[in-house]
């Protein structure tokens, strides 16, 4: 059993991704404008140009805001805001697309060596470090099974 599929081709032209099928080209994604350092400032995607993303940077070229939506509602899909301190640490972030809370606002705490230690005002809730700088607690570490019988068997018969 065989399938007769049209020939498809993806082309990356400068700052556009063009999808071509049977000789007809449709721009799937493109960079509309760039920041001075070359990063994309505004992009359009969706083939028909229906979805746009605008990215604002701070004075050092780091992400400040990211908005994704339609021409009539620029924050329909994404309205992300980032606060970065003078050391480059992410100290707060939020995403409130279309006025809805998708990702709760988060804040982060750092120690004197710029290592993340806390989240949402709770000190040492993310990680703590020993005198040599080794992480001794990590909230993202996997939790071992409460019952050893739940552990995978390594016995072979």
Give pLDDT tens digits for 1-60: 444 444 444 444 455 555 555 556 666 677 778 888 888 888 877 755 578 889 998 888
Distance CA 129, CA 114 (A): 12
Q: Domain boundaries in the chain?
A: 32-105, 111-141
Flag whether the pTM goes above 0.75: no
Closest C-alpha among 56, 50, 55 to residue 70: 50
- The CB-based long-range contact list for 79-88 (8 Å cut-off, 24+ gap) reads 84/58, 85/110, 87/114, 88/62
The whole-number pLDDT of residue 127 equals: 81
Which ranges constitute the DSSP H helices of 1-155?
A: none
The answer on pLDDT for 155 being more than 80 is no
pLDDT tens for 59-107 read: 888 999 999 888 888 888 899 999 999 999 999 999 988 878 777 789 9
The whole-number pLDDT of residue 61 equals: 87
Pairing state of beta strands 127-129 and 116-119? unpaired
The whole-number pLDDT of residue 10 equals: 45
Distance CA 42, CA 13 (A): 17
**Mean pLDDT value across residues 117-134:** 81
Q: Which residue has the tokens 């063009």?
A: 18
The whole-number pLDDT of residue 87 equals: 92
Question: In this predicted structure, which of 27-36, 101-110, 120-129, 141-150 has the lowest mean pLDDT?
Answer: 141-150
The answer on pLDDT for 157 being more than 50 is no
């Amino acid at each position: 059993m065989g399938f007769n599929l049209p020939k498809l081709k993806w082309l990356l032209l400068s700052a556009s991704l063009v999808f071509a099928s049977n000789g007809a080209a449709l721009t799937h994604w493109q960079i509309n404008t760039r920041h001075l350092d070359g990063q994309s400032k505004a992009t359009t995607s969706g083939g028909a140009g229906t979805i746009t993303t605008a990215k604002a940077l701070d004075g050092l070229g780091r992400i400040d805001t990211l908005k994704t939506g339609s021409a009539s509602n620029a924050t329909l899909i994404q309205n992300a805001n980032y606060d970065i301190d003078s050391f480059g640490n992410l100290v707060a972030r939020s995403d409130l697309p279309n006025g809805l809370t998708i990702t709760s606002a988060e804040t982060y705490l750092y120690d004197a060596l710029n290592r993340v230690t806390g989240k949402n005002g709770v000190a040492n809730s993310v990680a703590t470090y020993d005198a040599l700088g080794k992480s001794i607690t990590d909230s993202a570490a996997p939790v071992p099974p409460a019952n050893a019988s739940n552990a995978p068997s390594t016995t072979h018969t």
